[in-house]
Amino acid sequence: MDLGKNIAKARKDANMTQEQLAEKLQVARQTVSKWEAGTTMPTVPGLVKLAEALETDCNSLLAEEEKQPEIKQTETGYVVDWTKLYPILVTYQQEMDCTPYEVQFAAMIREVQKTYGYSAEDAMLALKDIFAKTYFKEFQP
């Protein structure tokens, strides 16, 4: 991804129009359009102001590609490190008491195993799928 695409993505993620961003930066809307199209680039001080206006950092705007999870091949398959894409996976364990959830999840896995004869892994995958579908249905309009 190039600078122009990164600016456009960050602007859309901030729920701003080109005009709103231009107004915030005190530049013409066409200037923002040209940055996003890649026909011109902001100055270094302009890039700093742009990052601040979009509530991001210059490195994110200059990144050549989107953050991707790290995938390592092992003898038995692949291990995916999702923490690069989802930093919450690093911090939540220190921020919340996971024990009650672990107890509830273990009970749910055992219930699905017993009821449907699934292995623990299959029960977990089925519940994970239900959990994801519920999330998208309830929280992602």
Every domain of the chain and the residues it spans: 3-62, 70-139
Mean pLDDT, range 17-45, rounded to an integer: 93
DSSP secondary structure letter of residue 14: T
Higher-confidence residue of 80 and 99: namely 99
Q: Which residues contact 44 (CB under 8 A, 6 or more apart)?
A: none
Residue 66: band (very low, low, confident or very high) from pLDDT cuts 50, 70, 90: low
Fold of 3-62: 434 Repressor (Amino-terminal Domain) (1.10.260)
Distance separating alpha carbons of residues 92 and 69, to the nearest angstrom:
18
Q: Which amino acid is at 109?
A: I
